[in-house]
């Protein structure tokens, strides 16, 4: 979830898109170099980014590599303390619906991650080492005749949208993934180009790149500093000049960007409560559970695996489920991560109080 306050006479231009996420577990950190934090005594930057998750750090990276602007990232804790640190890192298209409101964004994101991995390889570096990158492909598995009919339709739609995909019968599925139980009613949509990464490694890589700009005075991090308010030009004007943290004022001369993940809704509400501006930030926490079985060797999974019902969490129109039915919908994913751990995740649509 990202909202941007641009420094302009028109005050606010909130650019928002929804992410639903909730940190539920902490995983082993791979290489995140928290001791190398880059702070600065100065308090004025071109851009202030609130939130140092994968989104905030990537926004900072984009400004640093694509412009000559200076950037400060401020976080109430540290990167990976939010949803980013809990995520499985699937870069999957398999459960997305062409034409849905998140389709273009997902496709672009998928392309950019692939390009990053390829550019590392081209530079003689190892994307698996640096990002935990694995091109596993993904399997969306149906276990009833109805689900398999829907999966065939899905394969057709994804192919029409330009993705490499195929429908697998139960026998074909078993050849690809011998460890799973199948019967005559089982089938799968297979996307060979889907991938996964390790969020901790990816964050460490992005942080390292951002920190390279610190010596030129273009980058600083302010971690463990919750943002508590907005600084407004001339006291109470509608022009946002930066943010207040518990320790300091940070000025964003050109923009202040809120990328605080699932906290963005409540944070924006809090920051704007005195501004008399109606703002609906469409971010709702979603419950999920993640089980990581370390050094798992009882069986091996070759691909990322997801139950067909997972698609229902993305779009009601895929399944025709109404909101009440989706509220009860639960489905599961399974994968092996770069470190050989089995990662089982259960997600449901139930909103958290
Ligand atoms: C269990 C789980 C599994 C997931 N699996 C996947 C997956 O496989 N693939 C996928 O694409 N996505 C997955 N996601 C979703 C993905 O992790 C999130 O969409 C993504 O990490 C969001 O990144 P973010 O930077 O927006 O949020 P976050 O990583 O949550 O970062 C937000 C940051 O804002 C900071 N913050 C909050 N309030 C303040 C404040 N007042 N002041 C300063 N800082 C503040 C927080 O400390 C935090 O570091 C998963 C999520 C979860 C929970």
Q: Where are the domains of the chain?
A: 3-85+199-271, 134-195+286-351
- Of the chain, the percentage scoring pLDDT greater than 70 comes to 80
Lowest mean pLDDT of 117-131, 141-155, 283-297, name the range. Answer: 283-297
Which are the contacts of 225, defined by CB distance < 8 A and separation ≥ 6? 74, 75, 76, 245, 246, 247, 248
Average pLDDT value over all residues in the chain: 83
Domain at 3-85+199-271: CATH code: 3.50.50.60
Query: Quick one: which atom of ligand 1 is closest to the CA of 58?
Result: 25
Largest CA distance in the chain: 70
3 CA from centroid of ligand 1 (Å):
14
Tokens of 334: 């399974």
Strand pairing of 249-258 and 44-50? parallel
For residue 125, name the pLDDT band (cuts at 50, 70, 90): very high
Three-state secondary-structure class, residue 95? coil
Question: Which range among 36-40, 154-158, 231-235, 283-287 has the greatest average pLDDT?
Answer: 154-158
In the predicted model, what is the mean pLDDT of residues 333-350? Answer: 81
Up-side HSE of residue 56: CA atoms within 13 Å toward CB?
33
What homologous superfamily does CATH list for 134-195+286-351? Answer: D-Amino Acid Oxidase, subunit A, domain 2 (3.30.9.10)
Write out residues with Cβ below 6 Å of ligand 1. 1, 19, 21-24, 50-56, 74-77, 79, 81-84, 86-90, 226-227, 259-261, 263, 267, 288, 290, 345
Ligand 1 center–CA 79 separation, angstroms: 9
- The residue that leads in pLDDT, 173 or 284, is 173
- Asked which of 12-16, 88-92, 347-351 is least confident by mean pLDDT, the reply is 12-16
pLDDT tens-digit readout, 28-82: 444 444 445 677 778 999 999 999 999 999 999 999 999 999 999 999 999 999 9
Residue 353: count of CB within 10 angstroms of its CB = 4
Closest C-alpha to ligand 1, atom 5 = 87
- The pTM assigned to this predicted structure is 0.85
Structure tokens at 260: 């605080």
Residue 333 has pLDDT above 80, yes or no: yes
Helical packing angle, 199-211 and 54-66, nearest 10°: 30
Spatial separation of the C-alpha atoms in residues 297 and 305, rounded to whole Å: 17
How far, in Å, CA of 347 to CA of 185, rounded? 23
> How far is the C-alpha of 17 from the C-alpha of 102, rounded, in Å?
9
């Amino acid at each position: 979830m990202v909202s941007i306050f641009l420094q302009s006479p028109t005050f606010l231009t909130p650019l928002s898109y929804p992410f639903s996420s909730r940190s539920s577990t902490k995983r082993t950190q791979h290489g995140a170099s928290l001791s190398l934090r880059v702070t600065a005594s100065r308090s004025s930057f071109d851009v202030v980014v609130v939130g140092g998750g994968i989104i905030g750090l990537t926004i900072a990276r984009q400004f640093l590599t694509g412009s000559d602007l200076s950037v400060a990232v401020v976080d109430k804790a540290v990167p990976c303390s939010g949803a980013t640190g809990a995520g499985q890192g699937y870069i999957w298209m398999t459960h997305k619906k062409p034409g849905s409101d998140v389709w273009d964004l997902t496709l672009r994101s998928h392309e950019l991650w692939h390009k990053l991995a390829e550019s590392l390889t081209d530079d003689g570096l190892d994307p698996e080492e640096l990002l935990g990158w694995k091109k596993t492909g993904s399997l969306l598995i149906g276990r009833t005749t109805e689900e398999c009919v829907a999966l065939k339709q899905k394969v057709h739609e994804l192919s029409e949208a330009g993705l490499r995909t195929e429908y697998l019968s139960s026998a074909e599925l078993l050849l690809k993934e011998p460890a799973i139980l199948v019967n005559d009613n089982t089938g799968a949509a297979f996307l060979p180009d889907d991938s996964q990464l390790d969020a901790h490694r990816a964050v460490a890589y992005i942080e390292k790149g951002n920190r390279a700009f610190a010596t030129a005075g273009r980058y600083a991090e302010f971690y463990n500093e919750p943002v508590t308010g907005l600084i407004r030009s001339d006291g109470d004007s509608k022009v946002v000049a930066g943010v207040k943290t518990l320790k300091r004022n940070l000025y964003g001369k050109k923009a202040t960007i809120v990328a605080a993940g699932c906290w963005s809704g409540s944070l924006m509400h809090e920051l704007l409560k005195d501004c008399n501006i109606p703002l609906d930030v469409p971010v709702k926490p979603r419950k999920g559970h993640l089980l990581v079985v370390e050094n798992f060797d009882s069986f091996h999974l070759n691909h990322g695996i997801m139950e067909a019902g997972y698609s229902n969490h993305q779009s009601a129109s895929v399944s025709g489920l109404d909101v009440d039915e989706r509220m009860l919908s639960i489905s599961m994913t399974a994968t092996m991560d770069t470190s050989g751990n089995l990662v089982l995740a259960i997600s449901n649509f139930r909103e958290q109080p």
